[in-house]
Amino acid sequence: MTSTLKPPSEVHAAAVVGSGVIGIGWILHYLRMGLQVGAYDPAASARARITEMVDMTWPIMEELGLRAGASRENLVVAESLADAVAAADVVQEAAPEDVAIKSRLFAEIDAIVPASTVILTSTSGISMTLIQSDCVHPGRTATGHPFNPPYLIPLVEVLGGERTDREVVEWTMEFYRSLDKYPVHLEREVPAFIASRLQEAMWREALHMIAAGEATVEMIDDCITQGPGLRWAVTGPMMNFHLAGGPEGMKHVLDHFGPTLKEPWTRLVAPELTDELRERVIDGCERESAGRSVDEMVLDRDRAIIAIMKARRESADAAAFRRGR
């Protein structure tokens, strides 16, 4: 079956099923990338809003830059699921987060589209194995979990289910890369994947602090946007600790702060800092550093943070100017 897949670079038509925030985001991204897009939502009122939302957001697409052939006119809002997906090279499902809805929808799509069509789910945490359970051809199904808004945020978490063909996962990775996304392949089906789990940990801790009267919503947001959030846009949390360790990097951080892992600073239970975990963390930082010294990486990080801060100031100044007009 996978031998029939069209090369990602030759994909010209996509279908998006579901028109919530994520569905609209995918529609906009695929249109900006120059694809023909068929869109469908079972609710007539939702279908009526698709064109309106695309028109409203299209100036942002133009500001981002349009690929050759990109146009709002490439969008067709279909009256039926079959009309939306029948001619698509790839289908991006963005239905509500309900395993029954998604598995039923995948089975319906699987029965309509030709063998050359890849079917992807935007789920933020439901197992692909469950979603593909009722498909006759589950090998061509995979997860492509985006982050809101999909037309701006490049990350897509990619993984297959137990019955997904390996070639389809590889195809999906290349497909997203060809459309200016940043796919990360998960080898295992981890509930809620990677980024959402990290977000959830912070979300839970924030709610704990608000409930206990330890911080306000505003304090929590300010402490991230004016603090580590700036660094995280350049260096992820692991590399941030690596750079904080000076010339010895992560080794120094683990030696220095490892004993404090058991301190009750958060409501989360800390893992045991075993020798194996320690070595995995240090080795990972060395791989990500790719031969660069901590000093070199610190300079690169600082330049990038300065650029981000300048961009934020320019955006804030522009917004204030618009409000004052």
pLDDT in the model for residue 264: 77
Task: Write out the two tokens for 225.
Answer: 């946007």
What's the pTM value of the predicted model, to 2 decimals?
A: 0.86
**Joined tokens for residue 311:** 């961009």
H or E element, residue 250: helix 250-257
Instruction: Give the distance from CA 286 to its chain's centroid.
Output: 25
CA distances (Å), origin 220, targets 137, 212, 261: 46, 13, 22
| Residue predicted with more confidence, 315 or 175 | 175
- Give the confidence band of 258 by pLDDT, cuts at 50, 70, 90: confident
In this prediction, residues 8-30 reach a mean pLDDT of 96
List of residues 6+ apart from 217 with CB closer than 8 A: 210
Q: Is the pLDDT of residue 262 over 70?
A: yes
Q: Is the pLDDT of residue 2 over 70?
A: no
Residue with the two structure tokens 């992820």: 236
Cα–Cα dist 25/152, whole Å: 9
Domain parsing of the chain, residue ranges: 2-185, 227-324
- Note the CATH architecture for domain 2-185: 3-Layer(aba) Sandwich (3.40)
Instruction: Give the model confidence (pLDDT) of 228-254 as tens digits.
Output: 998 998 888 999 899 989 999 999 989
Q: What values do phi and psi take at 158, rounded to 5? A: -115, 130
- d(CA 296, CA 319) in angstroms, rounded, equals 35
CA 198 vs CA 53, 107, 195, 295: distances in Å = 30, 31, 5, 27
b/e for 112-131, b at 16 or more Cβ within 10 A?
bbeeebbbbbbbbebbbebb
pLDDT at residue 160 in the model: 97
